Amino acid sequence: MPHASWASAVIAEPVVEQVKDIFLQAREVLGNTYETDTSLPDDACLTTVRRRVEEFVTSDDISAARRAEACELLATIHTLQQAELESSLAQQLSKLTEVRTCIDELSGLSPRELIDTVPLRICRNMSVGRAMISTISGSVWLPQQLHIEERTAGSAEFEEFVDGARIPLSDAPLETELLVRRRTVALVPDPMSDKRTYKQIVDAARTQAYVAAPITLRGRTIGMLHADRPEDPNSLCHDDLDWLAMFSECLSTIFESALLQQRIEQQLRRATDTYAQVVALLGQVETVAAETGQSIPQPLRPRGIEQRTLSGAAALTSREREVLAHLSTGATNVQIARNLVVSEATVKSHLKQISRKLGTSSRAAAVAAYARMTQGNLGFAP
C-alpha cells in the first residue's frame, strides 16, 4: 500500500492522466509550438518539461503573469515527481521485505532442498506462472527443478524437455554472455526474435517473455533462475527483474552457506567413520592377542600429550569419570542422565568440565582420551 506521507501529495487522477495534463499546461505556458517526446518514460518526459519551464521562468522577456503560471506548473511537476519518487521507494522497500521473508524461509535448507523449494517460492512471491532453477557444470546448462503454478496443455511437453536436459552454453549466447560471464540479470521481451536465446527451450516452453538471473559463488556463476508469466507475458517488467535480482543475490549467499555446511557434515561423517574403523581394528587386535597370549606393544605417545592426559584424569571427579565411562559406550546424554538418575542439563555440565580438563573439543576426542587413559594404565577408574 502507498505510504501515507506521500499519498496526500498525489493528485487524484491516474499518473498517466496527470502527465498528459502537464503536457497541455506546458504548451499553454510555453506556446502551442512546444512539443515533447512522449515516447520517453513518464519521469524522463517530466524532467524534460521541467527543464524547459525552468529556462522559460528565468528568461527576461516574459510578463509577471506568465512567469507566475510557469512557477505554478513547476510546483505541479515537482509534486508529481516527488510522489513518484516516494512511490518507487515504497515499492523497493516492499520488494526488499518480500525477499527477506522468502530468504528467511529458505535459510537452513540443504543445497538439494533449496533446489526443490526455490522455484515454488519464486512463483508465489513474484506472482509468476512458472519458475525454474538450473545449475552450471563447466560449459553445460543443467535444468534442475521446474515449478508450474497452473498446468496447461503444453506443460507436460515443457517438463519432459527439461527433465535431464543438458544444454551446451554455446547454444544459449544470451545466458552465456549475461548470466554466466557478466553475472547480471536479463529481461527478454521477445525470446523468439532474439537471436541469442536457446530456441529449443523457448519452443518447448512456448514462452513469449521471461526474466533470468544468475546464482553466483565467489564470483563465479553456479546456477540460473528463470521465470515467466505464460498467461500474461507483457506484464513482465523491470520491477520483476529488480525483485529477481535481489532474490538471486541473497540466494547466492544462502547457497554458499548451505554448501559449506554440507561439506562440514561430510567431513565430520568421514572422521566419525574413520574413528569407528580404528576402534574396531583395535578391538580385533586385542581379541587375537588374547587368544594367542601375545602382548600388544603400547604405541609411543608424545610426552606432552601423555602429561596432559595424566593431569586431566587426576582432576576428574568420580561423577565425571562415571559420565565419561557411559559416554565411551556410545550412550546419548539422555541415556547417561537416565542411568545416573540426574538431569540432562547436569550431564551436559559434566561433559563441559570433562572437555576442559582433558583438553578435548568433541565427544569423540573425549572417548579417545578415555581409551588412552584406560589402555595406558594411567590410574583411571570409573
**Which residue is listed with cell 546424554?**
333
Q: Does residue 360 carry a pLDDT above 50?
A: yes
Q: Please, which pLDDT band fits residue 379 given cuts at 50, 70 and 90?
A: very low
8 A C-beta contact, residue 191 and residue 202: yes
Global confidence as pTM: 0.56
Q: Please, which pLDDT band fits residue 260 given cuts at 50, 70 and 90?
A: confident
Q: Does residue 3 carry a pLDDT above 70?
A: no
Query: Which CATH class, in words, describes the domain spanning 112-261?
Result: alpha beta
From residue 87, give the alpha-carbon distance in Å to each of 1, 7, 83, 84: 9, 9, 6, 5
SS3 of residue 370 by DSSP:
helix
What are the boundaries of each domain within the chain? 4-102, 112-261, 301-375
8 A C-beta contact, residue 102 and residue 111: no
From residue 129, give the alpha-carbon distance in Å to each of 114, 226, 229, 283, 285: 19, 11, 5, 60, 64
8 A C-beta contact, residue 207 and residue 230: yes
- Pairwise CA distance, residues 97 & 89, whole Å: 12
pLDDT tens by residue, 165-214: 999 999 999 999 999 999 999 999 999 999 999 999 999 999 999 999 99
Instruction: Give 301-375's CATH code, choosing from 3.40.50.1220, 1.10.10.10, 1.50.10.10, 3.30.70.980.
Output: 1.10.10.10
